[in-house]
Structure 1
């Protein structure tokens, strides 16, 4: 009968509780405890193997995404260069419209926009205030060096590493 990992963990904890509450030493407890530990170790290792397989597939997808992103960017660049070529040619020849059998082309004005010539000369009432952000790297360095900083604490959490 194959047990699930959480079932094995519960059995292990029950046995530990039974051993710690018992006054007499019973050798069968040790054998049972070792067999549950082996089963847990096997389940954990097999789960880690599944994690590695999933991560390998995710990495393969990531590599493919990067390849497709580069291809998309190259195609977009080609399209932008060709648009600019058409734009320059239409401007140079004075054409505002070209009506083709399948595609029409037209030069048009875009909505008005602002171009900053010198940001220092812009009146203060046009400036937007920025909220300060916390420099977490500097805070971490100070906390590691034993400097107490009000409003923060140094924390250290555990995580799983599959080796």
Structure 2
């Protein structure tokens, strides 16, 4: 079976022939050919839709597997944090700052200094970084639908392919 773009090209070429007054006698044959190509196009389009649906199912399965693996990663991360906390706590209880084993050396060390903000409002302005404005596109769309004119914004209507 021909590719979709080949079918479209043949259809377009025959459609242009219909407008040629010199081919008045062949009009019926051209229209029959157009109908045949139209049917071929519909079959090809439906086959492509089947591939799209199959890929959507594959994609959904991958999304679910990603979520499952992310949940598993989170659970493993929690186990790691719990085991580290458990070991850290008991090393502190026994005042052991270092354990040298056959495979690992465990030690309690001080982390790099970090800032702890107690009251954000009390921090002087010179330490605050201004944030860029963010547009509320939902509110803009609502107002544009009410025919309120907004400089720099307009409603954009696009089309998409629906496969049901």
Q: Tell me which interval the TM-score lies in, with the shorter structure as reference length.
A: over 0.9
Residue 95 of structure 1 pairs with residue 96 of structure 2: yes
How far off is 1:20 after superposition?
2.2
How far off is 1:104 after superposition?
1.4
Residue 17 of structure 1 pairs with residue 16 of structure 2: yes
- What is aligned with 1:108? 109
Structure 1 residue runs of 4+, over 2 Å off? 20-26
- What is aligned with 1:156? 157
How far off is 1:84 after superposition?
0.6
- Number of equivalenced pairs: 162
- What is aligned with 2:51? 50
SS at match of 2:106: strand
- What is the root-mean-square deviation of aligned Cα atoms in Å? 1.3
How far off is 1:105 after superposition?
0.8
How far off is 1:55 after superposition?
1.5
State the TM-score, normalized to the length of structure 1.
Answer: 0.94
Q: What stretches of structure 1 of length at least 5 have no aligned partner?
A: none
CA distance in 2, matches of 1:8, 1:116: 66
- What is aligned with 2:64? 63
Q: How big is each residue's C-alpha offset from its partner over 1:134-155, in whole Å with a ceiling of 9 and x where there is no partner?
A: 1111111111111111101110
Matched ranges for 1:81-92 at <5 A: 81-92=82-93
Matched ranges for 1:21-40 at <5 A: 21-22=20-21, 24=24, 26-40=27-41
- What is aligned with 1:76? 77
SS at match of 1:98: strand
How far off is 1:46 after superposition?
0.3
Q: What stretches of structure 2 of length at least 5 have no aligned partner?
A: none
State the TM-score, normalized to the length of structure 2.
Answer: 0.93
